[in-house]
């Protein structure tokens, strides 16, 4: 199976004399979950920005297939003036929408509301739903369950793992127990 993410010999730093990444490499295939675990400021979110090409590496190569991302802060993921449904339908096929709602414990009526009318947990589940409906090869997950209670966190992670036949996932988390539970490989940075 071909790689959906290849990071080869990546070097990057905000200051030339202090590199967050020096000759860093990682590959990911469909069906895999790899977890990036590290302290705040270690470069976890910076790695995602590099993969998304929002930042330019000093050296190295990054190749990706189609990508979707779930951000840690769901309120920054949606425009405040439009309903969730309109924002999801702008970027994703919604033919599977209703069947996916039960997977993440979300009611259709909530998608007809504006982002500020939902709780952080509901909004994060809508963000995950949108990312899944975009049908990416690679799903970047930046602390996707930190706004969810333990029961919903488990349900969402099970739902994500059920979709590993369609994609691979790169997960940023501070939760080492979660990483050990779901990841094929844990990368400490």
For the chain, what are the domain ranges? 3-76+130-188
How far is the C-alpha of 126 from the C-alpha of 112, rounded, in Å? Answer: 11
The CB-side HSE value for 20 (13 A sphere, CA atoms) comes to 20
Which of these, 127, 181, 129, 126, lies nearest to 150 by C-alpha position?
181
pLDDT in tens, 106-144: 899 999 999 999 988 899 889 999 999 999 999 999 988
Q: b/e per residue, 134-168, with b = 16+ CB within 10 A?
A: bebbbbbbbbbbbbbeeebbebbbebbeeebeebb
Partners of residue 110 on adjacent β-strands: none
How far is the C-alpha of 65 from the C-alpha of 5, rounded, in Å? Answer: 7
Q: Does domain 3-76+130-188 have CATH number 3.40.50.300?
A: yes
Instruction: Kindly state the DSSP code that residue 58 receives in the 8-state scheme.
Output: S
pLDDT in tens, 59-82: 999 999 999 999 888 888 899 999
Is 67 within 8 Å of 23 (Cβ atoms)? no
Model confidence band, residue 105 (pLDDT cutoffs 50, 70, 90)? confident
pTM of the model as a whole? 0.91
pLDDT in tens, 172-182: 988 888 899 99
3-state SS assignment for residue 21: strand
3-state SS assignment for residue 67: strand
How far is the C-alpha of 179 from the C-alpha of 149, rounded, in Å? Answer: 17
Model confidence band, residue 34 (pLDDT cutoffs 50, 70, 90)? very high
CB-based burial of residue 56 (10 Å sphere; 0-12 exposed, 13-18 middle, 19+ buried)? Answer: exposed
How far is the C-alpha of 91 from the C-alpha of 127, rounded, in Å? Answer: 12
How far is the C-alpha of 4 from the C-alpha of 66, rounded, in Å? Answer: 8
How far is the C-alpha of 174 from the C-alpha of 172, rounded, in Å? Answer: 7
């Amino acid at each position: 199976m071909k790689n959906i993410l290849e990071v080869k010999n990546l070097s990057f730093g905000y200051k030339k004399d202090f590199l967050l990444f020096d000759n860093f490499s990682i590959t990911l295939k469909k069906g895999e979950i790899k977890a990036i675990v590290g302290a705040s400021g270690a470069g976890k979110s910076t790695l995602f920005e590099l993969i998304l090409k929002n930042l330019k590496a000093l050296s190295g190569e990054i190749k990706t297939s189609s990508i979707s991302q779930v951000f840690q802060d769901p309120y920054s993921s949606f425009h405040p003036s439009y309903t969730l449904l309109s924002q999801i339908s702008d970027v994703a096929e919604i033919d599977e929408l209703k069947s996916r709602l039960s997977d993440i414990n979300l009611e259709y009526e909530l998608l007809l509301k504006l982002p500020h009318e939902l709780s952080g947990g509901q909004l994060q589940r809508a963000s995950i739903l949108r990312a899944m409906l975009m049908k990416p090869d690679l799903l970047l997950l930046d602390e996707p369950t930190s706004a969810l209670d333990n029961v919903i966190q488990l349900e969402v992670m099970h739902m994500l793992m059920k979709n590993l036949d369609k994609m691979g996932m790169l997960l940023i988390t501070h939760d080492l127990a979660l990483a050990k539970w779901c990841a094929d490989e844990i990368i400490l940075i």
